[in-house]
Amino acid sequence: MNIAAAQSGGPTCAINASLAGVFSEASRNEQIDKIYGSINGIEGIINDRLVEMSSIIKSNKDLELLKLTPSTVLGSCRFKLPDADNNSEVYEKIISCFKRNNIDIFFYIGGNDSMDTVCKLSEYFKKNNINVKVIGIPKTIDNDLMCTDHTPGFGSAAKYVAATVQEIARDSSVYSVKSVTVVEIMGRDAGWLTASTCVLKANDENAPHLIYLPETPFSVERFLEDVKRMLVEHNAVVVAVSEGLKLSDGEYAAEEFQSGHDDAFGHKYLSGIGKCLENIVRKEIGCKVRSIELNVMQRCASHMASKTDVDESVKIGEEAVKAAVKGETGKMMAFKRISDRPYFSEIVTVDAKEVANKERLFPKEWINNQGNNVTAFALDYFLPLIQGEVNVLMENGMPVHLKIPNWF
């Protein structure tokens, strides 16, 4: 049989590790002949833009480089499959591509929107007696997928964000004047990544002094009170905020800074809360203040990758191949945590329909009563996911990435 894999949604620094896991396990399986990669997610299947993965991964060195190369080597997309009842033409194109290339298994590496594609394809194939297995492999730095303890890519993003906040704290503490630094971190509706900055407490760091998440209604008045109180205790205050902070009426706190545009799945493009709060602090408090938006660095900092994250990302790709060969379809691979100390998790399959188009929010019981920080339960959850350092191959003082043709 032949198989195909595609990557979708926002990149991470571990999504290629999952692809490497698929390739490794498929290469060892005598039932599998060709391993295809789809250029730009499901769009590559629709447009019949496939590449044999052996043309990308030509050696063990290439495979190791792929594991630590950030972003998506096959490209990505944010394409929403239409309902088959309303538009079956696109499904016929997908079937035609699979038949033409003798593809029996399709792996889709992505987030909750990508699991929508897994569900729609697997249900269409079942309904029409088409023997193609479809398996979802999770990824997202947002860590907001249902039915899994955590997601590949999150641990590395959390490690980078926490390390960066620590460095910001060092930088901001050298002056005698009072200062506030607002660090804007990705997270539209779920505050997992922002909350993960609490891991610095394990090393007796004070920063971030305040943490604000989308799960708790944001109040500018309470924010100013919190900052003023922290400025009494600390010369330099560092505040971690999720980009998707919402007011009590459900509107985004930085609405005036938004583009107003949505992606194909109806999600708003967000940014600006850091600058918004910077302006408010400058006007209402008058101290030295700056905002820092970490932006895409959060999801592509492979030089700060968590070894635990990379190893698990490879493993979940391998397990996806095993599950598909056994006949499973319409499933997403998931992590089930067994223990925190020592950390141990196992990989299971869950119904993709339980994940598609849903979000797992940061637990409100892990947020303190004041809504401006997180509890020790969060620290215990996050710490195992950022453990270990990867051996980055360096050349001329810079990390080496797997070089691929310019398909896009």
The residues annotated as belonging to the active site are 142
Kindly give, in sequence order, each residue whose CB lies less than 8 Å from that of residue 39, ignoring residues fewer than 6 positions away: 49, 50, 51, 74, 75, 407, 408
Query: Contact, 56 vs 402, CB < 8 A?
Result: yes
Q: How far apart are CA 39 and CA 48, in angstroms?
A: 9
Is residue 326 classed exposed, middle or buried when 0-12, 13-18 and 19+ CB atoms within 10 A define those classes?
exposed
- The backbone torsions φ and ψ at residue 371, rounded to the nearest 5 degrees and listed phi first, read 70, 20
Query: Contact, 147 vs 350, CB < 8 A?
Result: yes
Tell me how far apart the terminal alpha carbons of the chain are, to the nearest angstrom: 28
Q: How far apart are CA 139 and CA 154, in angstroms?
A: 8
Q: How far apart are CA 297 and CA 83, in angstroms?
A: 35
Query: Contact, 135 vs 324, CB < 8 A?
Result: yes
Q: How far apart are CA 394 and CA 68, in angstroms?
A: 12
> b/e map of 232-268 (b: 16 or more CB within 10 Å)?
eebebbbbbbbbbbbeeeeebbbeeeeeeeeeeeeee
> b/e map of 39-53 (b: 16 or more CB within 10 Å)?
bbbbbbbbeebbbeb
- Angstrom CA distances, 108 to 11, 16, 238, stand at 13, 12, 38
Nearest to 162 by CA among 205, 198, 188: 198
Alpha helices, H only, 208-264: 220-233
Q: How far apart are CA 228 and CA 35, in angstroms?
A: 58
Strands 331-339, 288-293: pairing kind? unpaired
